[in-house]
């Protein structure tokens, strides 16, 4: 990303570098240092540590609030104070005497030649940290800031957003005086380009797999936008100082992790097992389709609860955060598992009326753009048609389609999906009151997978079995 920015700045006189959120957490390294290494890395995006980057602007994503309790306020303020760039919080109302930083503001204006460029932000409210009073909705945010920036002289207004694409589209469908000229966004972790009434909504892939470069030109009093999605794969040139910094931070973190456990400095490279086949864990796969690693983890969970008559497993893919495929004939290390499960993967058994299952699966396929609420499943099968946004032929293992042989279903789910202290990943139809007593309650997916790897001395051989048949890729008969 640093090398790309250098290339763009060599070509253009006026360049803004924008980030639409979800960078502090969660990752293996931020789990250890609270996000400090990420701030230091972003501070290097202008090629110089210790200098404020006037042309870099970020906004808050929901994962910035993973450290969301009041006792995290000192950490958050420390991260803000260390940031050598601007944060935007246009729709956020902070509680008094909490978040304090001069570089955390609600709007910003740039002067590029004869053109004034204004930027405001929007952050989704799906996470409600203890130090925030409220979030304004996207409609009121746009209605406040677009006219305000225009009145201050902005010729071109950018919305830097972190919410669902459908909300970005809705913002672009507001009355003309409330629309930004472009939306650069995040949240889905998946590259998207949409044009609404001639105005672009642009999003890049997570983990800097891609970047959006939007060329904006003024021609005959009209702004012409030419967007590109730039692939930042292994073949893309690397900036050597940035590479040296990130490798240093990663190595320091790994050593610190091992020493905290009184282990040798390279403990994370310990091999737990190996795989004969390619394990599909990259986000755009595991958050949209049935994958072999998703099947394995869901099956292990169902097997663990078999003595309590569990029927199915519903495992939200957002809890499986490796975001890379593991090649065939590769070793699987301790670090793979630490990166795959940065959160607790605590499992619980619940029981609910069978009529709820179609509603649960309908939410799983909703907003089908690599969302973390997509479920990897075990013990059931169904057909998913992304084009019609529908599900069909739902049946439990051993049942024929449409045979309602069980009035209630026992499901193994991550505690996050039912906890009174979370948003349930949107699964508001299930809750803690549905829990069923079982000795396996509290089992961790990471531990189940670790034990399974040790037992598979010949290596993993896992495959899809079309329990989720996708009509755009599979023959669903």
For 449, phi then psi, to 5°, come to: -70, -40
Mean pLDDT, range 194-223, rounded to an integer: 94
pLDDT digits (tens, 9 = 90+) for 316-373: 999 998 888 999 999 999 999 999 998 888 999 999 999 999 999 999 999 887 788 9
CB atoms closer than 10 angstroms to residue 244: 12
- Pair 182, 39 in one domain: yes
Say yes or no to pLDDT of 53 above 80: yes
pLDDT digits (tens, 9 = 90+) for 63-121: 999 999 999 999 999 999 999 999 999 999 999 999 999 999 999 999 999 999 999 99
Question: Residue 310 maps to which CATH number?
Answer: 3.90.780.10
Q: What pLDDT is recorded for position 405?
A: 73
Question: Residue 189 maps to which CATH number?
Answer: 3.60.21.10
**286 — pLDDT class (breaks 50, 70, 90):** very high
Q: What pLDDT is recorded for position 402?
A: 60
Number of domains making up the chain: 2
**398 — pLDDT class (breaks 50, 70, 90):** confident
- Pair 183, 279 in one domain: no
Q: What pLDDT is recorded for position 190?
A: 83
Say yes or no to pLDDT of 259 above 80: yes
Q: What pLDDT is recorded for position 36?
A: 96
Mean pLDDT, range 289-302, rounded to an integer: 98
Say yes or no to pLDDT of 477 above 80: no
Q: What pLDDT is recorded for position 433?
A: 97
**Residue 259 domain-assigned (yes or no):** no
Q: What pLDDT is recorded for position 226?
A: 97
- Pair 351, 438 in one domain: yes
**Residue 261 domain-assigned (yes or no):** no
pLDDT digits (tens, 9 = 90+) for 426-475: 999 999 999 999 999 999 999 999 999 999 999 999 999 999 999 999 99
Domain region containing 193:
2-231
Say yes or no to pLDDT of 267 above 90: yes
Say yes or no to pLDDT of 189 above 90: no
| Strands ordered across the beta sheet of 104-105 | 17-19, 56-59, 86-88, 104-105
Dist CA 146 CA 177 (whole Å): 7
Q: What pLDDT is recorded for position 354?
A: 94
pLDDT digits (tens, 9 = 90+) for 116-169: 999 999 999 988 999 999 999 999 999 999 999 999 999 999 999 999 999 999
Say yes or no to pLDDT of 403 above 80: no
329 Rama class: left (phi>0) / alpha (psi -120 to 50) / beta: left
**Residue 236 domain-assigned (yes or no):** no
Given a contact cutoff of 8 angstroms between Cβ atoms, the answer to whether 313 and 348 are in contact is no
Please name every residue paired with 56 in a beta bridge, in sequence order, or none if there are none: 17
Q: What pLDDT is recorded for position 401?
A: 65
Of 183, 203, 231, the residue at which a domain comes to its end is 231
- Pair 165, 274 in one domain: no
Given a contact cutoff of 8 angstroms between Cβ atoms, the answer to whether 363 and 304 are in contact is no
Please name every residue paired with 182 in a beta bridge, in sequence order, or none if there are none: 158, 200
- With b meaning 16 or more CB within 10 Å and e meaning fewer, what string describes 131-142? bbeebbebeebb
**404 — pLDDT class (breaks 50, 70, 90):** low
Say yes or no to pLDDT of 421 above 90: no
- Pair 225, 285 in one domain: no
| Strands ordered across the beta sheet of 182-186 | 108-112, 115-123, 156-162, 182-186, 199-203, 192-196
Q: What pLDDT is recorded for position 345?
A: 83
Say yes or no to pLDDT of 61 above 70: yes
Say yes or no to pLDDT of 380 above 90: yes
Q: What pLDDT is recorded for position 284?
A: 84
Q: For residue 208, what are the contacts with CB-CB under 8 A and spacing of at least 6? A: 1, 232
- Pair 276, 371 in one domain: yes
Given a contact cutoff of 8 angstroms between Cβ atoms, the answer to whether 179 and 140 are in contact is no
- Pair 101, 171 in one domain: yes
What is the C-alpha end-to-end distance of the chain, expressed in Å? 44
- With b meaning 16 or more CB within 10 Å and e meaning fewer, what string describes 59-90? bbbbbbbbbbeeebbeebbebbeebbbbbbbb
Q: What pLDDT is recorded for position 343?
A: 82
**Residue 256 domain-assigned (yes or no):** no
Interhelix angle 73-82/36-43, nearest 10 degrees = 20
- Pair 332, 408 in one domain: yes
Say yes or no to pLDDT of 7 above 70: yes
**Residue 249 domain-assigned (yes or no):** no
- Three-state secondary structure of the chain: CHHHHHHHHHHCCCCCEEECCCCCCCCHHHHHHCCHHHHHHHHHHHCCCCCCCCCEEEECCHHHHCCCCHHHHHHHHHHHHHCCCEEECCCEEECCCCCCCCCEECCEEEEECCEEEEEEEEECCCCCCCCEEEECCHHHHHHHHHHHHHHCCCCEEEEEEECCHHHHHHHHCCCHHHCCCEEEEECCCCCEEEEECCEEEEECCHHHCEEEEEEEEEECCEEEEEEEEEECCCCCCCCHHHHHHHHHHHHHHHHHHHHHCCCCCCHHHCEEEEECCCECCCHHHHCCCCCHHHHHHHHHHHHHCHHHCCCEEEEEHHHCCCCCCECCCEEEEHHHHHHHCCCCCEEEEEEEEHHHHHHHHHHHHCCCCCCCCCEEEECEEEEEECCCCEEEEEEECCCCCCCCCCCEEEEEEEHHHCCCCCCHHHCCCCCHHHECCCCCCCCEHHHHHHHHHHHCCCCECCCCCCCEEECCCCCCC
- Pair 214, 336 in one domain: no
**400 — pLDDT class (breaks 50, 70, 90):** confident
Q: What pLDDT is recorded for position 342?
A: 83
**Residue 440 domain-assigned (yes or no):** yes
Say yes or no to pLDDT of 35 above 80: yes
Please name every residue paired with 423 in a beta bridge, in sequence order, or none if there are none: none
- Pair 198, 278 in one domain: no
- Pair 98, 175 in one domain: yes
- Pair 60, 140 in one domain: yes
Q: What pLDDT is recorded for position 370?
A: 78
Give percent of the chain above pLDDT 70. 99
- Within the chain, what is the greatest distance between any pair of CA atoms? 73
Q: What pLDDT is recorded for position 367?
A: 83
Give percent of the chain above pLDDT 90. 89
**Residue 265 domain-assigned (yes or no):** no
For the chain, what is the mean pLDDT?
95
**Residue 262 domain-assigned (yes or no):** no
């Amino acid at each position: 990303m640093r090398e790309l920015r250098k290339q763009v700045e060599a070509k253009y006189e006026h360049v803004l570098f924008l980030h639409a959120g979800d960078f502090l957490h969660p990752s293996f390294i931020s789990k250890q240092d609270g996000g400090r290494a990420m701030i230091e890395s972003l501070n290097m995006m202008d090629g110089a540590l210790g200098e404020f980057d006037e042309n870099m602007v970020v906004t808050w994503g929901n994962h910035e609030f993973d450290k969301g309790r009041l006792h995290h306020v000192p950490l958050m303020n420390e991260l803000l104070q260390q940031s050598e760039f601007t944060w935007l919080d246009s729709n956020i109302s902070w509680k008094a005497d909490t978040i304090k930083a001069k570089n955390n503001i609600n709007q910003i204006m740039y002067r590029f030649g004869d053109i004034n460029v204004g930027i405001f932000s929007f952050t989704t409210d799906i996470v409600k940290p203890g130090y925030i009073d409220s979030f304004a909705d996207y409609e009121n945010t746009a209605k406040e800031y677009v006219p305000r920036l225009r009145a201050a002289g902005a010729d071109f207004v950018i919305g830097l957003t972190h919410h669902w694409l459908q909300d970005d589209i809705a913002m672009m469908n507001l009355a003309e005086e409330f629309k930004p000229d472009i939306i650069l966004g995040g949240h889905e972790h998946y590259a998207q380009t949409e044009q609404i009434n001639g105005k672009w909504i642009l999003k890049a892939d997570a983990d800097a797999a891609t970047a959006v470069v939007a060329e904006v030109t003024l021609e005959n009093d009209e702004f012409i936008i030419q967007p590109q999605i730039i692939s930042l794969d292994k073949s893309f040139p690397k900036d050597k100082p940035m590479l040296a910094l990130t490798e240093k931070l990663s190595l320091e973190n790994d050593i610190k992790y091992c020493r905290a456990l009184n282990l040798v400095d390279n403990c994370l490279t310990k091999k737990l097992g190996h795989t004969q086949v390619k394990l599909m864990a990259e986000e755009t796969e595991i958050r949209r389709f049935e994958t072999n690693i998703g099947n394995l983890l869901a099956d292990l969970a169902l097997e663990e609860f078999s003595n309590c008559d569990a029927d199915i497993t519903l495992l939200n893919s957002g809890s499986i955060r490796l975001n890379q495929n593991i090649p065939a004939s590769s070793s699987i290390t301790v670090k793979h598992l630490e990166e795959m499960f940065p959160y607790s993967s605590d499992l619980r058994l619940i029981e609910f009326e069978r009529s709820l299952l179609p509603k649960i699966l309908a939410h799983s396929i909703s907003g089908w753009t690599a969302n973390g609420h997509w479920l990897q499943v075990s013990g059931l099968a169904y057909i998913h048609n992304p084009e019609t946004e529908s599900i069909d032929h739902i049946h439990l293992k051993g049942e024929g389609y449409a045979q309602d042989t069980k009035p209630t279903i026992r499901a193994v789910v991550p505690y996050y999906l039912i906890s009174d202290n979370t948003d349930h990943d949107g699964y508001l139809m299930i809750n803690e009151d549905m829990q069923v007593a079982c000795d396996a309650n509290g089992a961790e997916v990471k531990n189940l997978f670790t034990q399974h790897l040790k037992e598979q001395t010949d290596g993993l051989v896992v495959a899809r079995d079309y329990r989720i048949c996708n009509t755009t890729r599979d023959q669903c008969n």
